[in-house]
Amino acid sequence: MSSAAALPTGTAPTSLFVNPPFRHAHVGSFLRPAAVHEARAQFASGSIDATALRQIEDREIAAHVQTLLQHNIQEITDGEFRREYFHLDFLKHISGITISKNTLEQKEGRVPPTLSVTGKLRHTGNIEVENFKYLRSLVPEDAVKRIKITIPSPTMCHFRGGRAAISSEAYPDLEEFFSDLAAVYRTEIDALYAAGCRYVQLDDTNLAYLTDQTMRSQAQSRGEDLDRLPHDYARLINASLASKPADMVAAIHLCKGNFRSQFFAQGSEEGYNPIAEVLFQKLNVNAFFLEWEDERSGKDFSALKHLPKNKIVVLGLVSSKFAEMEDKAKLVQKINEAAKSVVGEDGLKQLAISPQCGFSSTVHGNEITPETQFAKLGLCRDVALDVWGDAV
């Protein structure tokens, strides 16, 4: 069965076999091994240097990839073992962005460092290319298309701080800021493609936060136009992906918070509907990884009525936050319910299943065990076999 190689930008496979994304998928991050935690502590204390830290990360990533292959997990990531935070470890490499830590964060990790734009944004060096190349060296050639590189959505540079966190001297006009930011992303994605990467995922909390009434009010109090903002973000994301070749699959993951099994945003009574039309019909991505593991994250599947026929939704029905295993029959039932909301003859063709988020969006990890995270992925595969048959 062919992959998405011949599909134009912004489309997704419509055949029963989805490749990639896959019928059973995952968001990307995994619990960090003890050796990585120990190495980070040694690096922070100055007892090892960056080269030694990377060597340890390489070793643990190699073992992790072998575990993924042994468990027949289709999507290959490095588990984000090289990152402390899913977004900041990428964004800090962009010239013009400043990351400021605070005492509370340093002691407890509860408050993430603050991001601000202090100068003109420039791509001064590849960020994820070497990480992709290392992953490529670990898998057979026919598995290279299964490697997924996760990067933070460009909206992460705007929403939390808004205009106040962006230098007025560097960017008196925010349109220039958005333009420069998109150019940085295009350069990085172009470099990933040149290295052989064919699958990228943007991790975005901010569109998801716009379904939370409290966060909507906070954004409005900062002067944001809530009717315009989702459209602005769609334009930013599309501009960031504008040079993506047709045979590179782009996914976006929406998250309402995933720090140590906690969350930061509530889904509204309307679920994803406040942003659904823009999300599904305006974003030029192939697939959407969306939280739907409980009513907090997404009350119902009605938003899927906006899903075009050429795009895929990976339903995040399995919790990465809690150890309790979901009931297989109920998961199958939820997928069938979701399919009824998709416009068309067979909504199942446009759906897949995964955990609602990663297992360790920050280095701290969720309150589960390594064994549980793989049991959860095994459950996703079992459900996929029941729903879609052997071709998963």
* Structural domain for 168, as ranges: 4-35+68-91+121-388
Q: What are phi and psi of 391, to 5 degrees?
A: -85, 70
Task: Specify the residue for token string 């945003």.
Answer: 265
* Number of domains, the chain: 1
pLDDT tens-digit profile of 333-348? 999 999 999 998 889 9
Residue 171 located in a structural domain = yes
* Range 371-382 average pLDDT: 96
This prediction's pTM: 0.89
Residue 296 located in a structural domain = yes
**pLDDT classification of 5: cutoffs 50, 70, 90:** very low
**pLDDT classification of 257: cutoffs 50, 70, 90:** low
Using CA atoms of 100, 106, 111, 113 in order, give the dihedral in degrees to the nearest 10. Answer: 20
Extract the tokens encoding 203.
Answer: 């991790």
Residue 105 located in a structural domain = no
pLDDT tens-digit profile of 316-335? 999 998 899 999 999 999 99
- Largest Cα–Cα separation, the chain: 61
Q: How many CB atoms lie within 10 A of CB 150?
A: 24
What is the 3-state composition of the chain as percent helix, strand, coil, each rounded to the nearest 5? 45, 15, 45
Residue 61 located in a structural domain = no
pLDDT tens-digit profile of 144-168? 999 999 999 999 998 778 888 999 9
Lowest mean pLDDT among 133-142, 223-232, 277-286, 322-331: 223-232
Residue 50 located in a structural domain = no
Share of the chain above pLDDT 70, in %: 87
Q: How many CB atoms lie within 10 A of CB 114?
A: 15
pLDDT of residue 101: 78
The H-assigned helical ranges of 144-245 are 174-195, 206-209, 213-221, 229-240
Residue 56 located in a structural domain = no
Q: How many whole angstroms separate alpha carbon 143 and alpha carbon 328?
A: 28
Extract the tokens encoding 234.
Answer: 């769609």
Residue 48 located in a structural domain = no
Q: Which residues on neighbouring strands pair with residue 352, listed in sequence order?
A: 314
Domain containing residue 238: CATH number: 3.20.20.210
Residue 58 located in a structural domain = no
